Structure 1
Amino acid sequence: MQQDNSLKQVSTDTPIASLTSRSLQLAPRPTTIEQTGLSESLLLDLLLKHLMNGGVLTKEQMVKLLGVTGGIIQHLLDSAKTLAWVENRQTTADGQMRYALSMGGELHAKLALSRNGYLGLAPIPLGQYTEVCKKQSSRSNPITFEMLEKGLSALVLPKDLLFKIGPAMNSSRPVLIYGPPGTGKSYLCRHLNLTLGDDVLIPYALAIGNEVIQVYDPELHHRVESDAIPASLDLAKGHDPRWLRCERPLRITGGELTAEMLEVQFDSHSRTYMAPLQLKANNGILLLDDLGRQKISAKQLFNRWIIPMEERRDFLSLQSGEHFEIPFELILLFSTNLDPKELVDEAFLRRLGYKIHFDALDEELYRKIWFQVCADLELSCTEEVFQYLLIEFHERFKKPLIPCYPRDLLGIMSDQINFMEFESVVTPALVDSAWSIYFV
């Protein structure tokens, strides 16, 4: 499964009903302000901010900008007209009424922007988000050995690792993956979301009272083109468009992690709130790579997440000091090259339900990776040359069979072949040269 910022295409053989039924059950489209779970004042402020930003808008444009039905937009426009904040403008060529702010409406919109600069789809109230997030838990559809093997079919792994990783993915406990550098820990973790295989609804933003926190991040949340619905269908009957259908998120953070990234972030210039990384990763996987090398210590990190790791709920706060609770509904993975006992004490290690050790490969798996990389790089290599590598270098220098070596060594050989315009054949001379370059 390729992850990028483009929309995933929906197969034309897949019935539309099967794509939308679960979304409709989780998040039916509200038809009244009460059903949105939001106050009329919040929605009215958001509408005025959009009008100030757009200048002149039709009702259809406002429906798309706020993600609510035309009936709700009309109700808000009627309220705004009563307050003399919105004026009618000349209709479009196809007869659509256009609307703009009055002088009073512009003053109110500026006041609303000074309080909160959010400009996007109408947010989801916290209570609704919590309910949907828990229902979408990956643990509600446990991973089986067959699912794991299929999802990781492109990787060469010892089978005993699958028997350890699978149950860990179904557990509510965090998972620590540790072992020497180059043993494939991070590489495996970056592919685990492929085993989950389904999609989830991600809110564009959350409402905490009258404050709004943006959750959707296009760099992390990869949208699915589930809205590729025939024009003959009534789009008003689809799921609540304030929720975006996305692949389950995979959030990876490493040495750049700071304590601030675990809290709601407020931009004083734009007056907007952004969600912390664990909130963005909900219903997916959060990988903390290279544990022990972050700007926040492992001990500080575990102290911060004692309650989330054990109770699957987290506590956050806003600039005003208001505290609120969110679900901690994700698969939490830690990966490290360091000795776990040097990072945290025994009490913390107990809280990590699964501790999975990665080590060097046996010869059979190492050979499989070697020739697989040869095929990927379009290089020809004989068994004799492979044995030359094992005997003259791995055995002689007592270098373990680490999974990253084939990719790195053959990559160097491929570079040399291209530079020297040699035949695409791995030779003992190329092995000698690549080894001397790669190892100090």
Structure 2
Amino acid sequence: MNIADPEKNLAGFTPKAPHTLQELDIPKSVVADLMLRRLYMEGKSDIDSLGRSLRLSFRVVHSVFQSLREQQVFEVTGMSGNNYSFCLTSAGRELAERRLKVSQYCGPAPVSLQSYTAAVNAQIPKVDLTHDLLRKALSDLVVTEEFLDQIGPALISQSSLFLYGPTGNGKTSIAVRLQRIYGDSILIPYAVEFDGQIIVLYDPAVHRMVDNGNGNGNGDPRWVTCERPCIVVGGELDISMLELQLDANSGVYAAPVQMKANNGILVIDDFGRQIVSPRNLLNRWIVPMDRRVDYLTLSYGVKFQVPFALMVVFATNLDPRDLADEAFLRRIRNKVYVEPCEPHVFDDIFDRLVSEKKLKSEPGSAEHLRTLCVQAGSGELRACYPIDILDIIVSISAYEQRPVEITRADLERAASMYFTRKLGPLAN
């Protein structure tokens, strides 16, 4: 639930569709290669269809078509108006096969690195946030007024954020909802070109399109209108994920996770438990977080600069002082402690879940569960306990084929299944 409608609030970047090669921001040779590879894959096509596939205007495709036709690469098989149908000649097939050995990419045409950099810089969020708007953005969570007043200023600054505290108190749930504070959408290119290499950026697994695939109106169709990204990485994070990923078979690069998160949020969940050590991760990002630029390297050693315009949220249940030195912690200016639940917050979470799930509950159930959790748990109340215990009760009821009703006996049974017991010496 964003606090504004992203479909009606496109950030300050509206590129016009290029209609000539002079207006295009990538080399003509890149377009020629795309047309060759696409036609090789499809067998035959026409200018209009190729334009739709490559997200390029009819005039641009027609111009490159004429050039390749003069080189006897294309053979015309038909014509409707000024829309030629054509296929590859034998020489064209040989050329396409050679170009396919370099790269197999034949998707939407990329934008230039220069255009991408300008877009990211133009779409840096301008957060106009108040206590009431933040409360609305986190309305499906039970959070205290004090917590809102701590995290609110951190979100306005859009600098990096450390969420730390005991496990099970909602750090990840809070982090993934921070994207809701943005009231606009952004444009993300399908791919970026640099030095003749293509880097695929748009990833439907992490980028949420808001225009149902209809592009961005009358603008450049090489850009996709998306919500500002919120990408979560956990224990699977490896140092290689922070670099360009070259697919040796296709010759195509995939953008690193921080590049995909530009103009949005990147959540490092369970920080300190990744494959990559905290020290290596922090050393990799100490310059980007300070200077707001990153440096990536192509497989043959050429380095280039990209924007690092994102909010990095580190969520951890470890002591930040054990994870990073003072120099790095200084660069993470905002550190917010997510404390264990107060009794009234715990009860509010329980009551809200019971209401949302439409469950019947004996009077005093919240208080009884609270007592059980303090006795059997760590001595602290955690926000995860109510939903975890209630899910166990629902499973028990399904197993016993009876309606779900929260009783003291069910709470005690579920708690005994949820909390571990101390074991005595094990027999040999």
The verdict on a shared fold, with TM-score over 0.5 as the criterion, is: yes
Match of 2:91 among 104, 118, 127: 104
Partner of residue 144, structure 1: 130
Answering whether residue 103 of structure 2 is matched by residue 116 of structure 1, we say yes
Cα deviations by residue, 1:367-406 (Å, 9 ceiling, x for unpaired): 1110111123321123423223334552686632210000
Partner of residue 430, structure 1: 410
Partner of residue 30, structure 2: 42
Q: Contact 2:117 / 2:306 at 8 angstroms: preserved in 1?
A: yes
CA distance in 2, matches of 1:376, 1:341: 39
Kindly state the Cα deviation for residue 228 of structure 1 after the two structures are TM-superposed. Answer: 5.4
Partner of residue 55, structure 1: 43
CA distance in 1, matches of 2:373, 2:253: 55
Partner secondary structure for residue 207 of structure 1: strand
Kindly state the Cα deviation for residue 172 of structure 1 after the two structures are TM-superposed. Answer: 4.2
| Matched ranges for 1:152-301 at <5 A | 152-225=138-211, 238-301=218-281
Match of 1:74 among 16, 41, 62: 62
CA distance in 1, matches of 2:367, 2:233: 38
Kindly state the Cα deviation for residue 197 of structure 1 after the two structures are TM-superposed. Answer: 3.1
Report the aligned-residue RMSD.
Answer: 2.3
Amino acid at match of 2:19: T
Shift in alpha-carbon separation, 1:161–1:317, aligned structure 2, 3 A:
same
Amino acid at match of 2:25: G
What TM-score results when the alignment is normalised by the length of structure 2?
0.92
Shift in alpha-carbon separation, 1:19–1:168, aligned structure 2, 3 A:
closer
Q: Contact 1:173 / 1:310 at 8 angstroms: preserved in 2?
A: no
CA distance in 1, matches of 2:332, 2:356: 37
Kindly state the Cα deviation for residue 265 of structure 1 after the two structures are TM-superposed. Answer: 0.8
Shift in alpha-carbon separation, 1:56–1:406, aligned structure 2, 3 A:
same
What TM-score results when the alignment is normalised by the length of structure 1?
0.90
Shift in alpha-carbon separation, 1:245–1:397, aligned structure 2, 3 A:
closer
Q: How many residues align?
A: 418
Shift in alpha-carbon separation, 1:44–1:285, aligned structure 2, 3 A:
same
CA distance in 2, matches of 1:206, 1:397: 51
Answering whether residue 320 of structure 2 is matched by residue 345 of structure 1, we say no
Between stretches 210-219 and 111-120, larger displacement belongs to 111-120
Partner of residue 300, structure 2: 320
Partner secondary structure for residue 190 of structure 1: helix
Partner secondary structure for residue 360 of structure 1: coil
Shift in alpha-carbon separation, 1:228–1:46, aligned structure 2, 3 A:
closer
CA distance in 2, matches of 1:118, 1:143: 42
Cα deviations by residue, 1:412-437 (Å, 9 ceiling, x for unpaired): 11111222233432111111101111
Amino acid at match of 2:187: L
CA distance in 2, matches of 1:336, 1:346: 17
CA distance in 2, matches of 1:397, 1:203: 49
CA distance in 2, matches of 1:399, 1:416: 26
Cα deviations by residue, 1:70-118 (Å, 9 ceiling, x for unpaired): 11111011101111111101347x9953111111111111222212222
Q: Contact 1:378 / 1:424 at 8 angstroms: preserved in 2?
A: no
CA distance in 2, matches of 1:393, 1:30: 63
Kindly state the Cα deviation for residue 214 of structure 1 after the two structures are TM-superposed. Answer: 0.6
Partner secondary structure for residue 36 of structure 1: coil
Match of 1:86 among 74, 86, 92: 74
Amino acid at match of 2:71: L
CA distance in 1, matches of 2:319, 2:94: 60
Shift in alpha-carbon separation, 1:28–1:396, aligned structure 2, 3 A:
closer
Kindly state the Cα deviation for residue 200 of structure 1 after the two structures are TM-superposed. Answer: 0.7
Partner secondary structure for residue 202 of structure 1: strand
State, as a whole percentage, how many aligned pairs show the same letter: 33
Cα deviations by residue, 1:112-132 (Å, 9 ceiling, x for unpaired): 221222221111101111111
Partner secondary structure for residue 59 of structure 2: helix
Cα deviations by residue, 1:311-336 (Å, 9 ceiling, x for unpaired): 11000010111110000011110011
CA distance in 2, matches of 1:141, 1:349: 24
Kindly state the Cα deviation for residue 59 of structure 1 after the two structures are TM-superposed. Answer: 1.3
CA distance in 2, matches of 1:238, 1:91: 27
Partner secondary structure for residue 258 of structure 2: helix
Partner secondary structure for residue 120 of structure 1: coil
CA distance in 2, matches of 1:218, 1:392: 43
Q: Contact 2:134 / 2:152 at 8 angstroms: preserved in 1?
A: yes
Shift in alpha-carbon separation, 1:312–1:393, aligned structure 2, 3 A:
closer
Partner secondary structure for residue 361 of structure 1: coil
Q: Contact 1:226 / 1:245 at 8 angstroms: preserved in 2?
A: no
